[in-house]
């Protein structure tokens, strides 16, 4: 696959073969939307075509108002409120709220976007119209967290063809849940924490994504009980163990609480939470800039419910939040 046309043919067929996963992908998107620290604003959905995942039921569930993209047929794209007025065909023949006023980037809290494919650097492969590329070439729109929704089979293991103006997406959501480019590793704030201070503290503590090396390997961590002992295992995305990573608990504001130890040569560490109060804990596995993982642990009487552990890799969202905070203060 050397050209975009060849890639489109390949991944269009692959996505069609995965159409049965639509419900599983929808559930993962819904979970993410419900758990994300979304600021007030519109949730950008899309009108599904062909084998695209149907996210329209989210409109009846989310407390956020919903917006849909409106294409002009010539490469221009706007988001407009999806209200009670009947939808009409836009410039591409897709149902859209064509009569609603156009929204600004700072009025959107999150964009969920269909795609044929995405690669591990966050480059999206669309249908060739360039609508989202032109929209996100605007730095204000590029700051809005934007997630691609597609089956995991459509995540390309090889870099996709790209143009100089292509802006990487925040991440992707598949039937397995959310994922992000390896250079993006900032914690997802706990949804019960309403303060923006936590988001700011986390980014200041860990550094913004622009400082992360493009070739960094993301680390992935897991927990298991062995003979009654809680063991964490961590490895890079290339399979190598994460040796010497510092494992620590975080305070509700995202700052370090206390260190639990460091992983050994095999990337493992026994963790003792017997003296920890019941509740949900944020655990950081810190292998250095660009090599951090975050787990949300429900703890009861010193024991972790492994079925409820959540990996929290989401976070160019925070960059969008910071940009909008700065914009309002200017």
Is the pLDDT reported for residue 107 higher than 50?
yes
Number of Cβ within a 10 Å radius of residue 221? 24
Tokens 């899309």 correspond to 46
Number of Cβ within a 10 Å radius of residue 303? 14
- Cβ pair 36, 146 in contact under 8 A: no
% pLDDT > 90, the chain: 50
Span 55-79, mean pLDDT?
94
Q: How far apart are CA 219 and CA 100, in angstroms?
A: 44
- pLDDT higher at 236 or 177: 177
Q: pLDDT per residue over 111-129, tens digit each?
A: 999 999 999 999 999 998 9
Give how far the C-alpha of residue 281 lies from the chain's centroid of Cα atoms, to the nearest Å.
20
Q: Which two tokens stand for residue 316?
A: 């160019």
Q: How far apart are CA 83 and CA 45, in angstroms?
A: 13
Residue 256, SS3 per DSSP? strand
pTM above 0.95, yes or no: no
User: What pLDDT, on a 0 to 100 scale, did the predictor assign at position 6?
Assistant: 93
User: What pLDDT, on a 0 to 100 scale, did the predictor assign at position 288?
Assistant: 75
Q: pLDDT per residue over 190-232, tens digit each?
A: 333 333 333 333 333 333 333 334 444 567 888 888 878 899 9
Q: pLDDT per residue over 252-306, tens digit each?
A: 656 788 999 999 999 999 999 999 888 888 888 988 766 778 888 889 888 998 8
Q: Which two tokens stand for residue 11?
A: 């991944």
- pLDDT higher at 321 or 223: 223
Half-sphere exposure in the Cβ direction for 89 (13 Å, CA)? 4
User: What pLDDT, on a 0 to 100 scale, did the predictor assign at position 238?
Assistant: 78
User: What pLDDT, on a 0 to 100 scale, did the predictor assign at position 201?
Assistant: 34
Q: Map out the domains of the chain with their CATH numbers.
A: 4-180 (3.40.50.10420), 219-313 (2.60.40)
User: What pLDDT, on a 0 to 100 scale, did the predictor assign at position 244?
Assistant: 94
């Amino acid at each position: 696959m050397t050209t975009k046309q060849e890639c489109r043919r390949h991944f269009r067929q692959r996505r069609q073969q995965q159409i049965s996963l639509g419900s599983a992908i929808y559930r993962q998107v819904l979970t993410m939307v419900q758990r994300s620290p979304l600021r007030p604003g519109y949730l950008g959905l899309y009108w599904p075509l062909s084998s695209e995942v149907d996210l329209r039921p989210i409109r009846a569930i989310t407390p956020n108002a919903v917006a849909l993209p409106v294409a002009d047929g010539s490469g221009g794209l706007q988001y407009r409120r999806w209200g009670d007025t009947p939808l009409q065909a836009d410039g591409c023949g897709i149902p859209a709220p064509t009569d609603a006023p156009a929204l600004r980037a700072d009025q959107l809290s999150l964009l969920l976007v269909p795609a044929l494919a995405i690669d591990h650097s966050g480059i999206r492969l669309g249908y060739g119209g360039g609508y989202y590329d032109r929209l996100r070439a605007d730095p204000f729109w590029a700051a809005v967290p934007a997630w691609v929704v597609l089956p995991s089979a459509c995540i390309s293991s090889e870099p996709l063809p790209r143009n100089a103006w292509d802006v990487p997406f925040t991440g992707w959501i598949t039937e397995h849940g959310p994922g992000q480019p390896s250079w993006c590793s900032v914690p997802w704030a706990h949804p019960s924490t309403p303060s923006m201070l936590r988001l700011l503290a986390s980014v200041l503590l860990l550094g913004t994504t622009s400082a992360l090396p493009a070739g960094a390997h993301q680390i992935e961590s897991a927990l298991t009980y062995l003979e009654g002992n809680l063991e964490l295992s961590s490895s890079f995305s290339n399979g190598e163990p994460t040796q010497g990573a510092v494992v620590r608990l975080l305070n509700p504001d995202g700052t370090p609480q206390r260190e639990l130890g460091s992983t050994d040569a095999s990337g493992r560490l026994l963790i003792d939470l017997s003296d920890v109060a019941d509740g949900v804990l944020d655990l950081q596995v810190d292998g250095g800039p660009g090599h951090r993982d975050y787990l949300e642990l429900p703890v009861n009487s010193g024991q972790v419910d492994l079925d409820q552990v959540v990996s929290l890799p989401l976070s160019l969202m925070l960059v969008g939040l910071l940009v909008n905070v700065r914009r309002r203060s200017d």
